Chains A and B, each alone.
Chain A
């Protein structure tokens, strides 16, 4: 089992919407930032919540891809 998570209220989590070079976690271009903020994810999410969701999806996808297919209960990574 894998688990990864973070406190959404901590200081670093607030930089979720930033590119790596601006102190963020993900690699984000301005165009991609605009795409994320304009996307309609489930529920009424604020912009920062959307970026957190993207981080969550990204890690889920990465780990799904890294797990051996026979050990992965999901057939649809990400």
Chain B
């Protein structure tokens, strides 16, 4: 599985370099990768199905025209014996379908709908739609990925990427060399994906692997590296130009007061000295020294006169004079060090910059766990009072005196239980959203609900609604146990009298 992650990222990065069209890759992955099928996650096929149902029977002029042409073509094929439809209704159904297919397919296969599948499985990120998201790719695995596997993947990544670039694929021996676990079949049997061209089934995705194509790919990468290098060189030149301009202006001002060229001497400059600079020099000085300046357009448009500046009228002379004591904003160093960037560093930069490694959706919101809520006396008191839970709440949450050893133990157990409970609830919510909320999975309300399951879990503990042995479900445990526990339910069936229901 981790092999697949390495492969997915490598494929995507190479794909970015090659500028392959999304639709082509979508089709490509569908055929070759069984772990993460972009086509299944894309909105194209679901939408196409719905649109075909919508447009079937459409009798607009365009559809009629299309139908006539297809009918004529079918008749020609029938006449020469290339098409044999035994039943008239089959032919009519095919004709109806083909007549509206272009219309439906055009609306279904939009760029956004295709991108959706790639975003969902982590092939590209949501914001820039350019970079693979490692966490999302790992999130498609059916088993948990160990931290050491993730570290191994990141360490080996530059070499794996190079393999993809050079050969169009990563041979199994390379994965074996790094110690990646072999993939397994749905039955749990180890499976070695063949490299042979004789077999197309269960092969890894690969790019064009002929020497000629690999050469073109490497050439393209080299050209892009050179373009980056040229841009860095240009950035450095521009920066040096700004530094030189600033130094020239400072020297000019210092000359006027008879001192050495140093920014610390600018405090002795007067308005009249600034008035002797020309307008572009004043603009540049303001740009380099005014730390409150947000946009260049905020610089006064005219130089103005010394008299106006003396009267306090805001012109370039006055603004430049006012910021003479502020140090230059320009960094003395150049933005890029062109000498020390070696191949290894470039590989590291590629990985750091291009592979987005972040936590899965919602993790940021899950910083407050139920156990934390159950450690928050203020929150506990509010909930107990609001929901009238005084008689159900365990004593360890109510005691104002320091807890004894037994109460401390009970508190720890209940807090742990709450954390386990919320994990299970979130897992069930994930399944629910996946199955039931097909069209609005990204709605903010799901994020809110997911986050606040911590509140509900903590409430269940306070209300004593949980079963005593929910901790039987452990990470890494068998799915059978997991699903059995799901069926058993996590909470007891109880009746709560004396509660006001006034919503």
Residues of A bordering B, CB below 8 Å? 1-8, 10, 12-13, 15, 20, 23-29, 31-32, 35, 52-54, 56-59, 61-63, 65-71, 76-78
Q: Are B386 and A69 in contact (CB under 8 A)?
A: no
Which chain B residues border A15 with CB–CB below 8 Å? 382
Determine the distance from Cα of A26 to Cα of B387 in the docked complex, in whole angstroms: 14
Which chain A residues border B455 with CB–CB below 8 Å? 20, 25-27, 58
Determine the distance from Cα of A69 to Cα of B489 in the docked complex, in whole angstroms: 7
Which chain A residues border B491 with CB–CB below 8 Å? 2, 63, 66-67
Partner of B503, one of A24, A52, A78: A52
Q: Are A12 and B386 in contact (CB under 8 A)?
A: yes
Which chain B residues border A2 with CB–CB below 8 Å? 465, 491, 494, 496
Q: How far is the CB of B369 from chain A (nearest CB, A)?
A: 11
Determine the distance from Cα of A70 to Cα of B493 in the docked complex, in whole angstroms: 13
Which chain A residues border B108 with CB–CB below 8 Å? none
Which chain B residues border A77 with CB–CB below 8 Å? 428-429, 432
Determine the distance from Cα of A28 to Cα of B448 in the docked complex, in whole angstroms: 8
Given contacts A2-B494, A32-B444, A78-B449, 7 further A-B contacts (CB under 8 A): A2-B491, A4-B501, A25-B383, A59-B456, A61-B456, A65-B425, A68-B487
Determine the distance from Cα of A67 to Cα of B490 in the docked complex, in whole angstroms: 6
Nearest chain A residue, comparing its CB with the CB of B447: A32
Q: Are A71 and B489 in contact (CB under 8 A)?
A: yes
Q: Are A71 and B493 in contact (CB under 8 A)?
A: yes
Q: Is B378 part of the binding interface, using a Cβ–Cβ cutoff of 8 Å?
A: yes
A1, A56, A68, A70: most-surrounded residue (chain B CB, <10 A)? A68
A54, A62, A69, A76: most-surrounded residue (chain B CB, <10 A)? A62
Nearest chain A residue, comparing its CB with the CB of B368: A27
Partner of A26, one of B376, B445, B452: B452
Q: Using a Cβ–Cβ cut-off of 8 Å, how many residues does chain B contribute to the interface with A?
A: 49
Contact sample, A vs B, 8 pairs, CB 8 Å cutoff: A2-B491, A20-B368, A56-B503, A62-B452, A62-B453, A66-B465, A66-B489, A68-B487
Which chain A residues border B494 with CB–CB below 8 Å? 2
Nearest chain A residue, comparing its CB with the CB of B427: A65
Q: Is B363 part of the binding interface, using a Cβ–Cβ cutoff of 8 Å?
A: no
A-B pair count, CB < 8 Å, reads 126
Q: Are B499 and A5 in contact (CB under 8 A)?
A: yes
Which chain B residues border A53 with CB–CB below 8 Å? 503
Which chain A residues border B436 with CB–CB below 8 Å? 76
Q: How far is the CB of A73 from chain B (nearest CB, A)?
A: 13
Q: Are B456 and A27 in contact (CB under 8 A)?
A: no
Which chain A residues border B190 with CB–CB below 8 Å? none
Q: Are B460 and A62 in contact (CB under 8 A)?
A: yes
Q: Are B493 and A63 in contact (CB under 8 A)?
A: no
Interface residues of B in 425-476 (CB under 8 A from A): 425, 428-429, 432, 436, 444-445, 447-449, 451-457, 459-460, 463, 465
Residues of B bordering A, CB below 8 Å? 365, 368, 373, 376, 378-379, 382-383, 385-388, 421, 425, 428-429, 432, 436, 444-445, 447-449, 451-457, 459-460, 463, 465, 486-491, 493-496, 499-503
Q: Are A6 and B495 in contact (CB under 8 A)?
A: no
Q: A20-B379, A23-B382, A58-B452 are in contact. Are A70 and B503 (CB under 8 A)?
A: no
Determine the distance from Cα of A12 to Cα of B501 in the docked complex, in whole angstroms: 15
Which chain B residues border A61 with CB–CB below 8 Å? 429, 449, 453, 456
Nearest chain B residue, comparing its CB with the CB of A61: B449
Determine the distance from Cα of A26 to Cα of B490 in the docked complex, in whole angstroms: 22
Q: How far is the CB of A70 from chain B (nearest CB, A)?
A: 7
